[in-house]
Each structure stands twice: as C-alpha cells, then as structure tokens.
Amino acid sequence: MKTNIPQRLAALREAMRQQHVDAYIIPSSDPHLSEYPADRWKSRAWISGFDGSAGTVVVTADKAGLWTDSRYFLQAEAQLKGSGIDLYKMKLPETPSIPDFLLANLHQGQAVGLDGLCYSAEEARDLEAVLAKQGVRLDSSTDLMEGIWNDRPAIPSNKIFRMPTELSGASVNDKLDQLNNQLRQAGADCLILAALDEVAWTFNIRGTDVTYNPVAVAYGFVSEEENVLFIQPEKLTAEVAEELKKEGVILADYSRVDYYLAHLPAGKRVFVDMSKTNVALYNAIPKSCVIVEGISPANHLKSVKNATEIKGYRNAMVKDGIALTKFYRWLEQQLATGQKVTEISAADKLTALRAEQPQYIMDSFATICGYAAHGAIVHYSATPETDVEIRSEGLLLIDSGAQYLDGT
C-alpha cells in the first residue's frame, strides 16, 4: 500500500485545488462517529497506510501529517516511512495541535475542508470558531475521498438480526417510552440517534457491519408522533421488518435521514448529542427548529443494566472463562510436548475455542498476543512478518475478548 501513498496524496491535493480548499482533514471515524468504522470509511488508513485504530491526517498543498497517540507511535513511524506524511506524536510538548498546525500554515481567506458526515457537530463548531479568529473558513460539505478512491468499498449491506426481549430485558416499545419520558424532562420533542450502539440498543437489533462490534449501519429518530429506523432495505429480512413494524417502528431508507430532518416543522425541539451527531446531519436540521443539546438519553438509559442484561453479562463471562481455560490447557500441552505454537496460531486457537461457546458472535477486538519483547509493544498485532514462536520460557501477553449475544 505504501508505494501508492504519494500518488493518493497527489490526487487528494488536486481534488482540494478543484474544491478551493487549502487543507483537508481526514479523521478515523464514520458517519456515526464510531471508534471502529466499516471498510468504506477507513479513509485515513487508505490515504496514509497507517491502519491503527486512532489517528487523524491533515493535508495541505505542501505538507501532510498524521496525529496519533502513544499507543501507536512505533506502528505509525514504521507504516508512514517513505509515504511523505510526517508523524505528529500527540500530547508531547513539542507537538502542535491540529488547529495550531492549521493556523500556522494557512492565512486569511483560505479554507479547511472535511467530510461533514465523519466529523462531530461539536468538534466542527469548536474548529470553526478557532479558524475564524484568523479569517480561515471551514468547509464541511465535501467528501473528497469519493472522487479519488476508485475501488472504495460500498456501505455494508449485511442482514441484521433481532436481540430478543428474553435477552435484552425490554421491548422496543418499552425503550421508546423510556426515551420519550427522558425527552419530555429535557424539554425536547424528538431525538436523533446516530451512534450505532444506541441505535442497536433502542431497536433491539444487532449486525455484523463493523469488525468486532455487533452493530448495523443505521440511524434512528424518536418522538411521540413516530419512531423511524433509517436503514438500507436489503439489510432487512421480511421477518425482522415485520417484527419492527409491529413494535410501531417506521422503516425508511438509510440515505433519506437528512431529507427527513430537513423537513421537520418549525418550532420542533430537537435533542442533539453534539459529540455523537455528525455535522452534516446537524446542518440538515432547519434553523427554525430549536436545538436541545445534551448527552443522548439512549446513552444514559443503556448504561444502567436491567436484571436480564446483568444475568446475560454473567453468562457471557462464564462462557468466556470456559474458552480461556481450554485455551490455557491447550497451550500448556502444546509447549510441553514440543509442538510449534506462534503468536498468530495461538490467537487463532483462542478465537476458535470462543466460537464453540453458545451465542458467540465475534471477537470484541483483535487479539493482542505478544511473546517476549513483543509484549512490551503497546497494541502489538502480530503479522506474518513479525510472527514468532512461543516457548516455555519468558512472558506471553494476551489481551483479548469476545462478543456474545447476551454480553461482551
């Protein structure tokens, strides 16, 4: 991939020139501001070659930089080598913040661009205020990746499945009632749900659109009048669609959410979690509506587990403990009998043993399996090039987890 990075940067700079933006910001998130985005929105990895889970790329006409935290300093340094992108180590005294970098490299009348679908309304507002002090404009209207990433993956269209009430402990109707009660207390009429975990919780749905996260790409809208799930039609089986409709949920196409918001009636009091709603969605809300800002009620409600959910988490821990115990026994036997085990084969075996457990969905993150010196590398991920054999002496670090239908 690295050999293509200079060409990709050149294509982006040409797109910037045509769009009349002088710097372009590429974060790690998707339209739902997820920590782990689906492949379609891994733009930062595509443009830079750095595939760690956190980082932001900023490109100007003559400079390019990646900002990431200390978990990824070693990985980023290796993956950015020869790319034309400089590493900016976050939270070190000599490292400028992204706004400071932009102000140092731009002047009055110039513009900073970003894809408003992948940037939070809160961060966009703060950045716009900082840039305005120097007369620099923020343009959040254009996804420049779309024009230059020729083989860009499509939006995931995997089928969703229901989280049964027997495991969630509350029906969709129950949750919608709870949300509307919270909205009334906040003085709001309706709520936009953009975070995928909040959509999944509210509508009792799960999916496999995002690696390590059992969520589906969708938006939600909640109000006393109507409750809407914006999702690609192909993701719905007839059975799931019918069940949602019986719960009073209106199904609409994923792409229609901005149109729907743009036609909210004047005076509507819209609850918006500015840190979890992208700026493009926020800008779609008519100026005649009243914005009520705060932490999403869905976030509050789902953070307090009911008795059924608590039982599910305990069940999940038991199942995971069984898988881990089987793994430790297997590993000890392999080493005792002189069988070859490597970091990758050990991680694969652990996943296979977890998959034997009832209601296993997926791992909850990429297993970190680091032997000897590799155990000292923060967020180490074994590759065929770095994979080493595990021996009975020394230390083996394993950090891993799993998603089960009843708990994580």
Q: Residue 272 pairs with which residues in a beta bridge?
A: 293
Give pLDDT, residue 315: 97
Share of the chain above pLDDT 90, in %: 95
Is the confidence at residue 383, as pLDDT, over 80? Answer: yes
Task: Give pLDDT tens digits for 386-396.
Answer: 999 999 999 99
Q: Dihedral (C-alpha) 93, 95, 97, 103: value to the nearest 10 degrees?
A: 120
Give the span between the Cα atoms of 361 and 321, in whole angstroms.
16
Q: What is the pTM of this model?
A: 0.92
| Mean pLDDT score, 229-240 | 97
pLDDT bracket for residue 402 (50, 70, 90)? very high
> Sign of the C-alpha dihedral, residues 32, 33, 35, 39?
positive
Is the confidence at residue 3, as pLDDT, over 70? Answer: no
Which residue carries 């975070």 as its tokens? 195
Task: Give pLDDT tens digits for 61-86.
Answer: 999 999 999 989 989 999 999 999 99
